[in-house]
């Protein structure tokens, strides 16, 4: 049966198992929207801004592990998605973005609402396509999903001109994808894996340094198993939080710029670092020249370009981290006698770590006069569901969430780690809530970031998505202020958000509920009220204005040169 291109697109999405899309209509995607009208198989959620729609698709993908899908029209609709695409690209999130395009005959004519979105997104997508023929839609969509979810995942954009949506052809969805130029290596090389296990069993001060790759490949159980088998301490990056239980005895917490003292000291004194799905970001290594000076480094990553990009590596293993960890566990289990002996041999190392933990735990000074932001995060953890999904914006509240929420399961923290996108928290939570209507979803935002996509309150209310929005309000762009205080002589240039916003009225205007706490004694009540509310909620906490995120490795310093209090 012949179908038009727009219909074929929807059929392709259904074949890929897509049940939810986040999209915004406009001139060049009207044919797609006409086909969506009355479509029961695909739930369409319309954000109030394409950037938010793309973040929502991203949040959906992070929370579920499936490919997130966003739709936008040409021109401004397409350019609005760029921040969302770049955010997903930096964190390797599988996503397919469909943009409308002016008719092929007008491409290059500076037509109304025309933009070269394929050119614009070339450097922030894993791959992108311009569809020039209706017969290419099905194979290209098939390829787009395949590329997005395999190897190192990432966003793929498909630009679909209006005339291609209108043209008709037979619908035939390819069974499989054959790309002679794209064959990611997923199986770790057995000899390299054997070498890794020997290096591990020969080490005295090992640390596993774990990144978002472990979550992306669903390898959290394997990671936990390997750590427990040999009693290896584990530290995670911001993106790796939740890959290893934060309350486990072997957990060192997060490392890096705002990482735990024990984690950074363990890295500095370690003799073997096993990097798993992590990329030695500058926020993690501090000064590269002095990073882990005594350690041999094993680097496991599906993306060969990540290996040896920033630091020297003694043993590279290219492959899916889940496959590699599984192979390592098998290898360790075979050497049965050694395991217990090895665990025992690590006693001095664990003692040293315990000493660091005790000396400088991740903590804050309590107050009964002003609300400490860290206290709010601790209370949120205490009162929230065990499987709650938490999203954040970027800045101080993000770091406090990372330090004090103690994530225990994968895909429970949604945060923009690589790009550091303000405005990500609310729409990402929206996407996660759409995927899991029954789970508690909390968006922890600063008073700066919340304003960047506040319009999505409307989407939450309209679609009955009961996201619990937490605003850590210090009337500042907190992290900017912190840097200005520490490194710019307290010249608070443009970091003060002096205008007080009435968040109760704001929530009310959108048809939601709002609660405010300005004293420590009110914190628990507000959280309980917020969590009890069936719909979307804003919980505002007016916190200590001068509180800083500590400890901190100043930019360009070595990991062990931490400012513990300032």
Q: Is 112 a catalytic residue?
A: yes
Strands (E), 141-242: 155-161, 168-170, 206-210, 234-236
Closest CA to 157 of 133, 183, 182, 121: 121
> Looking at beta carbons only, is 147 or 315 nearer to other proteins?
147
Residues 6+ apart with CB under 8 A from 149: 67, 94
> Looking at beta carbons only, is 203 or 217 nearer to other proteins?
217
Smallest separation, CB 308 to other proteins (Å): 7
> Looking at beta carbons only, is 305 or 565 nearer to other proteins?
305
**DSSP class of residue 501?**
P
Q: Is 522 a catalytic residue?
A: no
**Interacting residues toward other proteins by CB under 8 A:** 118-119, 122-123, 126-127, 130, 132, 147, 179-182, 303-305, 308-309
> Looking at beta carbons only, is 117 or 562 nearer to other proteins?
117
Exposed e or buried b per residue across 379-418, where buried means at least 16 C-beta atoms within 10 angstroms of its C-beta: bbbeebeeebbbbbbbbbbbbbbbbbbbbbbbbbbbbbbb
Catalytic site residue from 112, 309, 333, 488: 112
> Looking at beta carbons only, is 39 or 118 nearer to other proteins?
118
Residues 389 and 550: their CA atoms lie apart, in Å, by 24
> Looking at beta carbons only, is 181 or 368 nearer to other proteins?
181
Catalytic site residue from 126, 162, 372, 379: 162
Phi first, then psi, for residue 82 (nearest 5°) are: -60, -45
Smallest separation, CB 304 to other proteins (Å): 5
DSSP 3-state assignment of 265? helix
Catalytic site residue from 239, 430, 452, 479: 479
- CA angle 70–76–77, rounded 5-degree value: 20
Smallest separation, CB 182 to other proteins (Å): 5
Catalytic site residue from 46, 66, 113, 486: 113
CA 560 to mean position of chain CA atoms: 27
Catalytic site residue from 11, 16, 35, 50: 50
Q: Is 50 a catalytic residue?
A: yes
Q: Is 170 a catalytic residue?
A: no
Pure H helices in 65-179:
76-80, 82-90, 117-120, 137-149, 162-166
On the CB side of 396, CA atoms within 13 Å amount to 28
Residues 256 and 254: their CA atoms lie apart, in Å, by 7
DSSP 3-state assignment of 427? helix
Smallest separation, CB 181 to other proteins (Å): 4
**DSSP class of residue 188?**
P
> Looking at beta carbons only, is 122 or 528 nearer to other proteins?
122
Smallest separation, CB 312 to other proteins (Å): 10
Structure tokens, 17 = 């198992």
Smallest separation, CB 95 to other proteins (Å): 15
Q: Which residues pair with 296 in a beta bridge?
A: 272
Smallest separation, CB 103 to other proteins (Å): 17
Answer yes or no: are the C-beta atoms of 204 and 349 closer than 8 Å.
Answer: yes
Catalytic residue numbers read 50, 112-113, 162, 479
């Amino acid at each position: 049966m012949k179908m038009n291109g727009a219909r074929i697109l929807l059929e392709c999405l259904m074949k890929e198992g897509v049940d939810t899309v986040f999209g915004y209509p406009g001139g060049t995607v009207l044919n797609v929207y006409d086909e969506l009208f009355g479509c029961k198989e695909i739930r369409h959620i319309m954000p109030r801004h394409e950037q938010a729609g793309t973040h929502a698709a991203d949040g959906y993908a992070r929370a579920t592990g499936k490919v997130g899908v966003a739709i936008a029209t040409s021109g401004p609709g397409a350019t609005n998605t760029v921040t969302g695409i770049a955010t997903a690209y930096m964190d390797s999130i599988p996503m397919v973005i469909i943009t409308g395009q002016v008719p092929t005959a007008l491409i290059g004519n500076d037509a109304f609402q025309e933009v070269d979105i394929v050119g614009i997104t070339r450097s922030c997508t894993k791959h992108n396509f311009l569809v020039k023929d209706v017969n290419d839609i099905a194979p290209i969509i098939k390829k787009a999903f395949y590329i997005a979810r395999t190897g190192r995942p990432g966003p793929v954009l498909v630009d679909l001109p209006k005339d291609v949506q209108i043209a008709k052809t037979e619908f035939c969805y390819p069974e499989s994808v054959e790309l002679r130029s794209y064959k990611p290596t997923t199986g770790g090389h057995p000899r390299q894996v054997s070498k890794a296990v020997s290096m591990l069993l020969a080490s005295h001060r090992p640390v596993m340094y774990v990144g978002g790759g472990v979550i992306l490949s669903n390898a959290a159980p394997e990671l936990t198993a390997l750590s427990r088998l040999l009693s290896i301490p584990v530290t995670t990056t911001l993106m790796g939080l939740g890959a290893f239980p934060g309350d486990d005895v072997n957990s060192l917490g997060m490392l890096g710029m705002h990482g735990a003292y024990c984690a950074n000291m363990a890295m500095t004194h370690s003799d073997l670092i096993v990097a798993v799905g992590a990329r030695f970001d500058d926020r993690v290594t501090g000064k590269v020249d002095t990073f882990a000076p005594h350690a041999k480094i094993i680097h496991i990553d599906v993306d060969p370009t990540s290996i040896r990009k920033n630091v020297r590596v003694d043993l590279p293993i290219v492959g899916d981290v889940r496959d590699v960890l599984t192979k390592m566990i098998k290898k360790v289990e075979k050497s049965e006698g050694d395991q217990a002996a090895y665990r025992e041999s690590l006693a001095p190392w664990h003692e040293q770590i315990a000493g660091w933990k005790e000396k400088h735990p991740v903590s804050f000074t309590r107050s009964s006069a002003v609300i400490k932001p860290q206290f709010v995060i601790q209370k949120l953890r205490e009162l929230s569901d065990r499987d709650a999904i938490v999203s954040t914006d970027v800045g101080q509240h993000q770091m406090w969430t990372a330090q004090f929420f103690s994530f225990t399961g994968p895909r429970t923290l949604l945060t923009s780690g690589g790009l550091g996108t303000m405005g990500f928290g609310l729409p990402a939570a929206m996407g996660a809530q759409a995927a899991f209507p029954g789970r508690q979803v909390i968006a922890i935002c600063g008073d700066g970031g919340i304003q960047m996509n506040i319009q999505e309150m409307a989407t939450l209310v309209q679609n009955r998505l009961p996201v619990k929005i937490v605003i850590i309000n210090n009337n500042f762009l907190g992290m900017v202020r912190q840097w200005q205080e520490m490194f710019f002589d307290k010249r608070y240039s443009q970091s003060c958000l002096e205008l007080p916003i009435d968040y109760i009225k704001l929530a009310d205007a959108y048809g939601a509920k709002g609660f405010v706490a300005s004293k420590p004694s009110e914190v628990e009540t507000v959280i309980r009220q917020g969590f009890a509310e069936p719909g979307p909620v804003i919980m505002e906490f007016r916190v200590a204005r001068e509180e800083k995120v500590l400890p901190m490795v100043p930019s360009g310093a070595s990991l062990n040169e931490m400012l513990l209090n300032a």
